[in-house]
Structures are given as structure tokens and as C-alpha cells.
Amino acid sequence: MASRTITAAASGSRQLGDLTVHRIGFGAMRLTGSAAFDLGVPSDRERSIAVLRRAVELGVNHIDTAAFYFSSLRSANELIGRALAPYPDDLVIATKVGPGRDPSGQWLPLARPDQLRGQVEENLRQLGRDHLDLVNLRVLPSVEVAEHFGALAELQAAGLIRHLGVSNVTSAQLADARAVATVVCVQNLFGLDDRSRSADVLRECGELGIAFVPFYSIAGKGRESGAGADSSEQVASVARAHGVSAAQVRLAWTLQQGPHVLAIPGTGDPDHLVENVAAGALRLTGQDMALLNAAGPVASDKS
């Protein structure tokens, strides 16, 4: 594929509530040089800003971020504001609340319901906005979501949030959230190497008309550390057949799980960005999909 000319529009479009986005978006976590659970080594600020601007030039209009995406010197939200404000009218910025860090940088896995307003306001301040397009509540599998989601629904009613979603949820938690307020998006771990745990949720989202937005769809078992050398012979075979990279095959496989599936690959590398966006134009054959599906998912219980 001539990836340099391919834009995010090639991936098609999908609704997030009343907002239309291209199915290939951008995840901001790696812009800071950090991982969500590790402060990491700070990235190059100007390079990160350039990647964000290039993403928008390539038609990306769905960016996923969080106030807890930061390294010792970089904040994803600050980078987004610096690169893209004043924001394009069609740009949808999705953020997450629930987890956070205290002033020392110590990881806190889940805020109390009464602390969520502070997290929402912190995202508003960092992004320089008067409302948030989409807020995903990220929880732990054992948590009752109704009270937390209800707190966000109150902020939605107050005009601080446009749409609500959930992240890292089970089918039961999704049902509990939907009983409180409309859910437009589910963000769960899902990819070629780790698809069994969220398979039911992905299917339910399709039936309910909810967007399913998997994370780590490229990194797979690498998770926060990022994608390493791809060891899958099936992926390599399909990649050779199409003259593309293994990462592009993994993204294309993800998007072909259903028209309700979006992708938010993240990178701080401008060349990888172009490659990721171009993956939205890759259409795998039935034979390709059968070969990849036969590769056997790797389940994990890490939350």
C-alpha cells in the first residue's frame, strides 16, 4: 500500500453517540514516553506535538487520552492542547476517569464516586475545554459500577460531559452501567493475541449499537511496554501476502471484527503513525481471517 497517501477516511466512519469519527483513531498514552501504569522516560515534546498535528492532517478525528497519561516531564493532555487548540470542529477527544495518581505520582487504581468530579475538572483544565466529548469510566472487574457511573451521569446532566462510556468491564458491569445512563462506547483489552476475555462484550456491543474500542490491539502481550518483534507466523504470512507490516495486519484484523469496532493505536513515531492510519485501508480476505483466527487467542487475567 502507498501508505503516505492514505488517510483515516479509508477506514470508514462510526458514531460515538451523535458524534461521527473515523474508525482509525489515535491513542495518546505513548506520546508522553510513559505507560499508563509506569512513569517511564519522557518523550521528545516537539516530536510528540508533530505526531499529533500529523494525525489530524491524516484525517484522524478521534483521540483517546487521560489525565493520568504523563511522565515526569510530559502530560498527554497538555501535548494535545498545545498541538491542536483551537480544536477542529470535528475532533472528538475521549478521556478516562477512575484511576489516577496522587501528587507524588503514586498510582491509585480507582477514585471514589465523589472524587470523579475533580478528575473531570482536571481533564477540562488540562485540555482547555468547557466540556468533554466522551468520558470513559475505567473500573476493575470486581467493582460495582452503578454509583461511579451515576456520579458521571450527574456531571453529564450538568453539561460538563457530552457522552459516557466504560472501560475494562465485564458484561454484567456493562449492563449495570446501561441501567444508569446511556453508554456509547466500551474500551476493553482486545486483540489477536488476547481476544477471549472480551469476546462476549464485543458481540453484545454490536447487538446494542455500542462502539467497541479495543486497547493494546497491536501491542498484544507487550501491553504497556508496547509491541515487540512479532513472533506469529500467521501474521507474518498475511503481512507478506499484502506487502504490509505485522502491525497493520493486526489493526486490520481488529477492524474486521465488526463495523462497530474502532481502533486507537498509539505511537510517538511519525512513520508508525502513517503506517497505522494506512491500515484502515487494508481489507483482509476470508482466507486471511481464517488463518489469523486459527492462531489461538492468549487469555490473561491482568486488569
Query: Which are the catalytic amino acids?
Result: 69
- Provide the grid cell at 52: 499529533
Q: What distance in Å separates the CA atoms of residue 116 and residue 97, rounded to the nearest whole number?
A: 7
Are the C-beta atoms of residues 27 and 136 closer than 8 Å to each other?
no
Q: Which three cell numbers stand for residue 151?
A: 456520579
List the grid coordinates of 210: 455500542
The answer to whether 184 and 165 have CB atoms below 8 angstroms apart is yes
Question: Residue 226: which region, alpha, beta or left (left: phi > 0; alpha: psi -120 to 50)?
Answer: left
Distance of CA 54 to the CA centre of its chain: 18
Do residues 26 and 60 make contact, with C-beta atoms less than 8 angstroms apart? yes
User: What pairs with residue 176 in β-bridges?
Assistant: none
Name which of 36, 40, 42, 126 is nearest 78 in CA terms. 126
Strand partners, 20: 15
R_g of the chain, CA atoms, integer Å: 18
How many residues make up the chain in this entry?
A: 303
Cis peptide before 270 (omega within 30 of 0): no
